C-alpha cells in the first residue's frame, strides 16, 4: 500500500470491513480532488454538497458523491476532459481506476470512478492490533456530478487541504452551501422515500452555520420551477415551506435511510417532527 494512503487511513477508527471501505472511498475522494486541482478544474467550477461539507468543514457523516457546479453556464464544458488527470493522480497513490462517463442528457454531467481492490491487497488496522483485509473482489465506486447551468447569485471561496499533499479547492460560501442543501430539503423528489441525509445536514447547518443565503435559494427554486411569480422568496415563506415539508416526513423511514451514513446512530433517537421544527426556527436568512 502507498505510504501516504496508509497514513491517511490511520486517522480513521476502523471496526469493520464496511468501515474500511468507507475510509478507502473517502481517501479516494480526496485524491480525486487533488487530481482535479492539478487539472485546473477549480478555475471553472466549485465544490458543493455533502462531501464538500465533510471534507472542508467537518460534517460528521459518510458521503458518496463529489458534487460540483460551474461558476457560470457553459454548453461546451466536458467532464471527460479531466479523466486523464484523475486517473493519473489516483494511479500515483496505488488506485488503478476506470472512468465511466454518462451521456449528457441534462444540464448535469456525471461520471463514475471505479477502483478494483484486486489491484493490490489493501489492509486496514483494527483496534487492538487486529488487521482486516478488504475483499479482493470489492469495487470502490465514486460518482462525480457537475451542474453546467448553475443558478446565479452565489459566492465562492478557496479552502486549502493538506492531504494527501497541500492543494486548493474552490467551494461555495457556507450560506450558499446551506441554500443548496435547503433546496434539496424542500424540493427533492422523495417519491416514497425521503432522504434522511438531507435532514441530517439541515441539523448540522442549524447547529454550526445557521446563516442561509435566501436570494440564492430563490434562484435555485426559480430555475427548477419550484418558485414562480413576481414576488420574492421571504424568510416567512421559507419557514412555511419547511414546516409543510417536515409535516410530511416519516421519521422512522428517514432514520433508517441515514443510519448507514452516520458514526453514531444513537444520536438519531431524538429525531421527531417537533425536533425538526425547533431546528428550523434556528435558521437565519441573510
Find where cell 473517502 sits. Answer: 26
Confidence of residue 279 (pLDDT cuts 50, 70, 90): very high
Q: How far apart are CA 52 and CA 178, in angstroms?
A: 12
pLDDT for the residue numbered 120:
43
Has residue 125 got a pLDDT over 70? no
Same domain, 10 and 144: yes
This prediction's pTM: 0.91
Same domain, 150 and 188: no
pLDDT for the residue numbered 127:
45
Tell me how many domains the chain contains: 2
Q: How far is CA 277 from CA 13, 30, 197, 262, 285, in A?
A: 33, 35, 17, 22, 16
pLDDT for the residue numbered 122:
52
Same domain, 84 and 131: yes
Same domain, 93 and 20: yes
Domain harbouring 71, CATH code: 3.10.450.620
Q: Are 249 and 276 in contact (CB under 8 A)?
A: yes
Same domain, 135 and 255: no
The mean pLDDT of the chain is 90
**Domain housing 184:** 175-285
Same domain, 104 and 125: yes
Confidence of residue 115 (pLDDT cuts 50, 70, 90): confident
Among 93-97, 138-142, 149-153, the minimum mean pLDDT is found in: 138-142
pLDDT for the residue numbered 286:
96
Domain boundary (135, 151, 172) is at: 172
Q: How far apart are CA 28 and CA 126, in angstroms?
A: 20
Helices marked H in 127-212 — which ranges? 174-187, 196-208
Q: Are 52 and 166 in contact (CB under 8 A)?
A: no
Same domain, 40 and 112: yes
pLDDT for the residue numbered 129:
47
3-state secondary structure of 89: helix
Amino acid at each position: 500500500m502507498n505510504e501516504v494512503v496508509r497514513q491517511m487511513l490511520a486517522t480513521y477508527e476502523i471496526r469493520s470491513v464496511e468501515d474500511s471501505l468507507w475510509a478507502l472511498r473517502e481517501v479516494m475522494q480526496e485524491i480525486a480532488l487533488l487530481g482535479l486541482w492539478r487539472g485546473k478544474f477549480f478555475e471553472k467550477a466549485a465544490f458543493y454538497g455533502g462531501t464538500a461539507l465533510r471534507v472542508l468543514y467537518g460534517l460528521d457523516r459518510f458521503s458518496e458523491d463529489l458534487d460540483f457546479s460551474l461558476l457560470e453556464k457553459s454548453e461546451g464544458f466536458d467532464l471527460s476532459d479531466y479523466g486523464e488527470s484523475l486517473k493519473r493522480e489516483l494511479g500515483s497513490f496505488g488506485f488503478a481506476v476506470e472512468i465511466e462517463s454518462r451521456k449528457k442528457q441534462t444540464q448535469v454531467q456525471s461520471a463514475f470512478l471505479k477502483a478494483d481492490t484486486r489491484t493490490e491487497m489493501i489492509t486496514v488496522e483494527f483496534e487492538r492490533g487486529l488487521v482486516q483485509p478488504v475483499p479482493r473482489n470489492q469495487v470502490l465506486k465514486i460518482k462525480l456530478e457537475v451542474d453546467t447551468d448553475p443558478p446565479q447569485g452565489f459566492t465562492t471561496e478557496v479552502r486549502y487541504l493538506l492531504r494527501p499533499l497541500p492543494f486548493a479547492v474552490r467551494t461555495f460560501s457556507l450560506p450558499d452551501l446551506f441554500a443548496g442543501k435547503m433546496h434539496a430539503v424542500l424540493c427533492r423528489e422523495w417519491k416514497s422515500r425521503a432522504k434522511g441525509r438531507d435532514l441530517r445536514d439541515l441539523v448540522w447547518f442549524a447547529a454550526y452555520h445557521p446563516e442561509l443565503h435566501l436570494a440564492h435559494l430563490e434562484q435555485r427554486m426559480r430555475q427548477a420551477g419550484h418558485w414562480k411569480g413576481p414576488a420574492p422568496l421571504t424568510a416567512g415563506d421559507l419557514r412555511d415551506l419547511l414546516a409543510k415539508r417536515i409535516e410530511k416526513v416519516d421519521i422512522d423511514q428517514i432514520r433508517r435511510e441515514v443510519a448507514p451514513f452516520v458514526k453514531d446512530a444513537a444520536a438519531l433517537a431524538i429525531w421527531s417532527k417537533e425536533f425538526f421544527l425547533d431546528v428550523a426556527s434556528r435558521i437565519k436568512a441573510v
